[in-house]
């Protein structure tokens, strides 16, 4: 079981990081989601012990017996929901950035860190570089 | 004299009170010397937990240094009163000089390496403040910064060396160290300690290749130059070397480095003195050369060399400080120190001329001066010990140019070149500018005529380096032999250099200018300029402003750290068990996940990318469902569905602006793929490692056993989430809510913008 899961985790994490390294912001967000899925799988696999039966205490029994390990399941469940919230927020942010800056190219988003214009000094934020209000609001 | 912006002048009483400090120290030292009460020691518990005591020990060498510090100190304090009269920063000068004197006294009396280091650093910092005394001049600030950077860096090396030495010797007490170290094996740790300590001593005493800061430190007021950068502070390096000579004296490396660096410094310093036209800088270079000679002498074996160290230390303080005062008087009286603009000053400044003659005679080593006796001792020491030819040549250059420098300072500016500075009204300064240098110069001559006064002092100082079995005799030798021949040679060459000073100056200046680019000073400047450049380069590498670069940096660092941790514990990992073959459902789920992940790499269309990525989520759901985690599976299915809906609705918006397909990008990005695969491999390995270790079921067992009796639930996963870890789940819901709240205004802003645009149209 472990080698198979480990291989799956490898493929998922590799694909996730590869997408996240793209300059396309949408691919970047999808890569982030995939990286999260890979991490969940790894977490689950690391604690997968016991049988493949749901962690439910049988009728008449007092104690859980012959079932899957419940602890990683609880952790992964929490992680899935939080990852979902994170990625959804990232998507909305992406949408906003694309409208605001007019680009979804990570290499062209230089509002916070402008390209250096001097070999030594830190780059200066010129006035038109930091619009306080969104571009379309200024009309 | 330029006026500083802050501070006030001080009155006569206050000046006298300040001067009482070195004077009382001088009286105390003389009293103790006269009553033969040395050595003295005292110790005060300071940091008992670290075994650091404020331990002090005054032996002959310390007493010699103390005598120089207090005697020259008294002269300097008196002189500064006249030289700086009316200067608004006078009080600052006196406070800094007093603090400096205390730090010096602490350094030369400390018997604990770390205590010595503490005072040593204090002298560096005070030297910085005093060199930069005229802080409104950029030249002063630059010189002060250079002096601090070089001596400060040397101080760090010294601290490291002291710690290594203390650890190797098992004690930080200097008196114990010099007894223990000769019996230790000459291992790598002691060698490292030796080299680091040498760096510290060489930077302080301006030895090659750290020699260039000392002449630049002449930006300080003249009393400071006379005190710190000629008589006392720069001698600390020599003092430390002499102090540790009994510990390392038998090492060939010690001997080689001291003789080598010392000889180079002695010869090179004198050659560079020929380049200068500023009287103070000429004297500074000759100080550098003297320090080189002192270091060479410390490196030589035998009692003769030790006696020579002690006598040269004393003689140099007695003639160089007055010569600095002479330069100060000339500067004060004429407004310049450039020797081309000075001449025939004996009429307007007769007393200064007298001082210059007396001190110059001692520097040149004329008979009946203490300098003559020192020369004699040095020549004797060199002919007795084994010295390589280069050191001998260096010493000849040193002696000869010393004669020439003395000639320039004492004869040329006072007796020759009449009419050069007739336009300016040269005048003699106040009494306090004449008496102190006169007293110092006269004691130099007195000791030359009656050397037995200094005998006990010098013998005591030499005794700190070698045991002196027989009574040493300082005296005027009258035997004809190598000594007199060598002296005559140096007089003759010195006279030649003096006469052809201007001619030599032009030749040397032109020659040395060509190699200035390669010099240590130029390297230092390049290093300073390189620091901001390196900082900018490293900042721009780490903080490039590109999102992919940040992701790569974070992922790469994490991969490296994880790989490092696993590599360190590699031997303790077992081979993972393969386990049973999983069922078809699990196999299918894994295939689904892998297929989705791989397919998403090739999608140009954003909707297709979203759907392929969805396969990974649904595949995980299937996997969870068939491996005993139905709750997780349901959550995964729900979340995946909602996510696809959210993402699809955002894609709908994007479609309106024609952005449904991904940005054009290279089909394959090998570097990104390599990094991603590396990270995936590290995570995979981590999973293997985790599965081979012993499994700790304590928490799982606890939940399995207490779920029903305590929380009355049969579904253990649910019980964990809503009961045992309810707060955790509350936090999770809060995160979801917060992300929703954060997304709302972003969407609202969007809507507002769109409506306004519609209105505008």
pLDDT tens digits along B181-204: 888 887 888 999 999 999 999 999
Question: Which chain A residue has the Cα nearest residue B639?
Answer: A84
Residue B549: closest CA among chain A residues belongs to which residue? A21
Residues in B touching A120 (Cβ below 8 Å): 532-533, 536
What dihedral angle (degrees, nearest 10) is formed by the CA atoms of B458, B178, B193, B233? -30
Cis peptide before B336 (omega within 30 of 0): no
Of A17, A57, A99, Cβ closest to residue B676: A17
Query: Residues of B with CB below 8 A from A4's CB?
Result: 582, 586-587, 590
What per-residue confidence (pLDDT) applies to A120?
78
The tally of domains found in chain A comes to: 1
What is the model's pLDDT at position B14? 85
Bridge partners (DSSP) of residue B110 are: B56
Structural domain includes residue A134: no
The mean pLDDT of B73-101, rounded to a whole number, is 89
Domain that holds residue A9: 2-55+65-129
The verdict on residue A103 lying in a domain is yes
Q: What is the pLDDT of residue B2?
A: 41
In this structure, is residue A19 part of a structural domain?
yes
Mean pLDDT in residue range B245-251: 88
DSSP A84-130: HHHHHHHHHHHHHHHHHHS--BGGG--SSSPPP-SSSSPPP--GGGS
Tell me the torsion sign for CA atoms B424, B425, B426, B432: negative
pLDDT category at B51 given cuts 50, 70, 90 is confident
A125 touches chain B (CB under 8 A): no
Q: State the pLDDT at residue B388.
A: 67
**Residue B522 structure tokens:** 């130029």
Mean pLDDT computed over A5-15: 94
pLDDT band for position B596 (cuts 50, 70, 90)? very high
Please report the residues numbered 737 through 756 in chain B whose beta carbons come closer than 8 angstroms to any beta carbon of chain A: 738-740, 742-743, 746-747, 749-750, 752-754, 756
B265 contacts B291 by C-beta, under 8 angstroms: yes
Chains A and B form CB pairs within 8 A to the count of: 317
Indicate the range of B36-45, B378-387, B508-517 predicted with least confidence. B378-387
Distance separating alpha carbons of residues B585 and B497, to the nearest angstrom: 100
How far apart are the C-alpha atoms of A19 and B596, rounded to whole Å? 13
Q: Is residue A41 part of a domain?
A: yes
Q: Return the minimum-mean-pLDDT range out of B27-36, B113-122, B266-275, B390-399.
A: B390-399
> For the segment B302-354, what is each residue's pLDDT rounded down to a tens digit?
777 888 888 899 999 999 999 999 999 888 888 888 888 887 788 888 888 88
Mean pLDDT of B104-128: 94
Contact (Cβ atoms closer than 8 angstroms) between residue B579 and residue B559 = no
Whether the pLDDT of residue A135 is over 50: the answer is no
- The three-class DSSP label of residue B193 is helix
Integer angstrom CA distances of residue B574 from B577, B683, B688, B693: 9, 17, 9, 8
In 3D space, the residue among B127, B318, B131, B312 whose CA is nearest the CA of residue B238 turns out to be B312
Distance set, CA A93 to CA B124, B551, B645, B654 (Å)? 55, 18, 16, 13
B520 or B103, which is more confident? B103
Domain for residue A137, yes or no?
no
For tokens 């009460």, name the residue. Answer: B37
Which of the pair, A58 or B191, is modelled with greater confidence?
B191
Cβ of A63 under 8 Å from any chain B Cβ?
A: yes
> Rounded distance, CA B481 to CA B203, Å?
38
Q: Which of residues 564-593 of B touch A (CB under 8 A)?
A: 576-580, 582-583, 586-587, 590, 593
Spatial distance between the Cα atoms of B229 and B326, rounded to a whole number of angstroms: 15
For residue A138, tell me if it sits in a domain: no
Residue B234 has pLDDT above 50, yes or no: yes
Q: What's the whole-number mean pLDDT along residues B629-652? A: 89
The pLDDT assigned to A138 comes to: 41
Residues of A in contact with B615 (CB under 8 A): none
Residue A81 falls inside a structural domain: yes
Q: Which residue on chain B is closest to A104 by alpha carbon? A: B663
Whether A101 and chain B come into contact, CB under 8 Å, resolves to no
pLDDT band for A126, please (50, 70, 90 cuts): low
**In sequence order, what are the beta bridge partners of A105?**
A24
**pLDDT computed for residue A121 by the predictor:** 76
For residue A31, the model assigns a pLDDT of: 94
Tell me which chain A residue has its CA closest to the CA of residue B623.
A41
Query: Considering only A18-22, B22-26, B514-518, which range has the smallest mean pLDDT?
Result: B514-518
Longest CA–CA separation in chain A, Å: 77
A18/B601 touch (CB, cutoff 8 Å), yes or no: yes
Q: Rounded to whole angstroms, how far apart are CA atoms B579 and A87? A: 35
Q: What is the pLDDT of residue B77?
A: 92
Instruction: Say which DSSP state B664 is in.
Output: P
pLDDT at A128: 47
- ipTM of the complex model: 0.88
Residue B685, token pair as written in the block: 């390995």
Residue B477 has which token pair? Answer: 């030798």
Residue A60 domain-assigned? Answer: no
**B86 SS3 class:** coil
pLDDT of residue A132: 45
Q: Is B387 a residue whose pLDDT tops 70?
A: no
- Over residues B44-51, the mean pLDDT reads 86
Per DSSP, helices labelled H in B276-302 are 279-299
| Interchain pair A115, B681: CB under 8 A | no
- In degrees and rounded to multiples of 5, residue A125 shows phi and psi of -90, 105
Contacts of A40 in chain B (CB under 8 A): 620
DSSP lists the bridge partners of residue B268 as none
> Closest chain A residue to B535 measured between Cα atoms?
A120
Which pLDDT does position B154 carry in this prediction?
94
Residues of B in contact with A99 (CB under 8 A): 657, 750, 753
Residue whose entry in the numeric block shows the structure tokens 């080189």? B292
Instruction: Assess contact for B593 and A11: CB atoms under 8 A.
Output: yes
- Looking up residue A107, the CATH number of its domain turns out to be 1.10.287.3510
CA distance to partner chain A, nearest, from residue B82 (Å): 47
pLDDT at residue B610 tops 50: yes
Q: Residue B469: is its pLDDT beyond 80?
A: no
Q: Give B246 to chain A, closest Cα distance, Å.
A: 50
Pick among B663, B713, B745, B749 to test the A interface (most A CBs inside 10 A): B663
Residue of B nearest to A9 (CA): B684
Minimal Cα–Cα distance from A28 to chain B, Å?
9
Give the model confidence (pLDDT) of B547-580 as tens digits. 899 999 999 999 999 999 988 888 777 776 666 7
Of A41, A19, A47, A29, nearest to A84 (Cα)? A29
Q: What is the pTM of this model?
A: 0.73
Does the pLDDT at position B251 exceed 60?
Answer: yes
């Amino acid at each position: 079981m472990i080698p198979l899961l480990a291989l799956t985790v490898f493929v998922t994490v590799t694909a996730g990081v590869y997408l996240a390294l793209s300059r396309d912001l949408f691919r970047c967000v999808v890569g982030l989601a995939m990286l999260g899925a890979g991490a969940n799988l790894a977490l689950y696999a690391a604690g997968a012990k016991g049988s493949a039966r749901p962690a439910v205490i049988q009728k008449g029994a007092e104690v859980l017996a012959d079932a899957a390990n419940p602890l990683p399941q609880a952790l992964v469940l929490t992680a899935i929901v939080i990852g979902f919230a994170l990625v959804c927020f990232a998507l909305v942010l992406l949408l906003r950035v694309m409208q605001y800056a007019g680009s979804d190219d990570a290499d062209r988003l230089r509002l916070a860190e402008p390209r250096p214009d001097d070999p030594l000094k830190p780059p200066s934020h010129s006035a038109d570089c930091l619009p306080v209000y969104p571009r379309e609001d200024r009309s | 004299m330029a006026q500083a912006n802050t501070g006030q002048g001080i009155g006569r009483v206050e000046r006298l009170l300040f001067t009482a400090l070195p004077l009382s120290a001088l009286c105390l030292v003389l009293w103790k010397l006269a009553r033969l009460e040395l050595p003295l020691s005292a110790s005060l518990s300071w940091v008992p937990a670290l075994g650091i005591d404020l331990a002090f020990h005054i032996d002959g060498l310390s007493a010699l240094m103390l005598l120089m510090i207090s005697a020259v100190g008294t002269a300097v304090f008196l002189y500064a009163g006249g030289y700086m009269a009316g200067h608004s920063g006078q009080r600052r000068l006196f406070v800094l000089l007093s603090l400096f004197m205390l730090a010096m006294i602490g350094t030369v009396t400390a018997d604990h390496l770390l205590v010595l280091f503490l005072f040593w650093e204090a002298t560096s910092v005070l030297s910085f403040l005093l060199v930069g005394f005229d802080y409104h001049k950029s030249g002063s600030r630059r010189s002060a910064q250079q002096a601090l950077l070089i001596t400060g860096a040397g101080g760090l090396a010294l601290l490291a060396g002291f710690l290594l030495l203390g650890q190797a010797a098992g004690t930080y007490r200097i008196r114990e160290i010099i007894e223990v170290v000769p019996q230790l094996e000459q291992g790598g740790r002691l060698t490292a300690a030796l080299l680091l300590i040498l760096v510290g001593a060489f930077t302080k005493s301006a030895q090659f290749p750290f020699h260039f800061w000392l002449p630049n430190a002449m930006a300080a007021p003249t009393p400071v130059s006379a005190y710190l950068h000629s008589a006392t502070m720069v001698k600390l390096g020599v003092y430390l070397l002499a102090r540790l000579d009994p510990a390392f004296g038998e090492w060939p490396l010690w001997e080689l480095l001291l003789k080598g660096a010392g000889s180079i410094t002695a010869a090179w310093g004198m050659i560079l003195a020929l380049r200068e036209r500023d009287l103070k800088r000429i004297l500074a270079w000759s100080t550098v050369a003297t320090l080189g000679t002192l270091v060479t002498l410390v490196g030589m074996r035998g009692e003769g060399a030790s006696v020579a160290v002690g006598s040269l230390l004393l003689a140099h303080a007695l003639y160089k400080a007055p010569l600095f005062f002479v330069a100060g008087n000339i500067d004060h009286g004429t407004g310049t120190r450039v020797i081309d603009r000075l001449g025939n000053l004996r009429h307007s400044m007769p007393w200064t001329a007298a001082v210059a003659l007396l001190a110059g005679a001692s520097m040149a080593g004329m008979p009946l001066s203490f300098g003559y006796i020192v020369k004699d001792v040095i020549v004797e020491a060199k002919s007795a010990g084994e010295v390589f030819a280069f050191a001998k040549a260096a010493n000849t250059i040193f002696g000869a140019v010393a004669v020439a420098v003395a000639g320039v300072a004492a004869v040329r500016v006072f007796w020759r070149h009449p009419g050069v500075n007739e336009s300016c009204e040269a005048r003699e300064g106040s009494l306090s500018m004449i008496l102190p240098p006169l007293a110092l110069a006269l004691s130099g001559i007195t000791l030359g005529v009656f050397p037995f006064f200094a005998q006990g002092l010098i013998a005591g100082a030499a005794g700190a380096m070698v045991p002196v079995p027989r009574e040493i005799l300082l005296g005027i030798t009258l035997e004809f032999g190598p000594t007199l021949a060598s002296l005559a040679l140096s007089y003759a060459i010195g006279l030649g250099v003096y006469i052809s000073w201007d001619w030599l100056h032009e030749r040397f200046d032109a020659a040395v200018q060509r190699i200035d680019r390669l010099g240590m000073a130029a390297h230092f400047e390049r290093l300073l300029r390189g620091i901001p450049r390196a900082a900018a380069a490293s900042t721009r590498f780490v903080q490039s402003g590109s999102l992919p670069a940040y992701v790569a940096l974070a992922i790469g660092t994490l991969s490296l750290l994880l790989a490092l941790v696993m590599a360190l514990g590699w031997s303790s990992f077992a081979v993972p068990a393969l386990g049973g073959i999983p069922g078809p459902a699990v196999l299918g789920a894994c295939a689904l996940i892998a297929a989705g992940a791989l397919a998403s790499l090739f999608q140009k269309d954003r909707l297709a990318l979203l759907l392929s990525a969805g396969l990974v989520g649904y595949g995980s759901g299937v996997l969870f469902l068939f491996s005993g985690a139905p709750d997780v599976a349901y959550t995964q299915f729900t979340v995946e569905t909602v996510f696809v809906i959210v993402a699809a609705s955002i894609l709908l918006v994007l479609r309106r602006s024609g952005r449904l397909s991904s940005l054009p990008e290279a089909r394959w990005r090998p570097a990104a793929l390599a990094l991603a695969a590396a990270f995936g491999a590290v995570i995979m390995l981590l999973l293997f490692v985790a599965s081979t270790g012993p499994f700790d079921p304590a928490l799982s067992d606890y939940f399995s056993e207490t779920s029903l009796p305590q929380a009355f639930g049969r579904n253990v996963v649910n019980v964990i989430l809503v009961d045992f870890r309810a707060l955790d789940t509350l936090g999770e819901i809060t995160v979801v809510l917060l992300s929703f709240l954060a997304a709302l205004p972003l969407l609202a802003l969007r809507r507002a913008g769109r409506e306004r645009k519609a209105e505008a149209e």
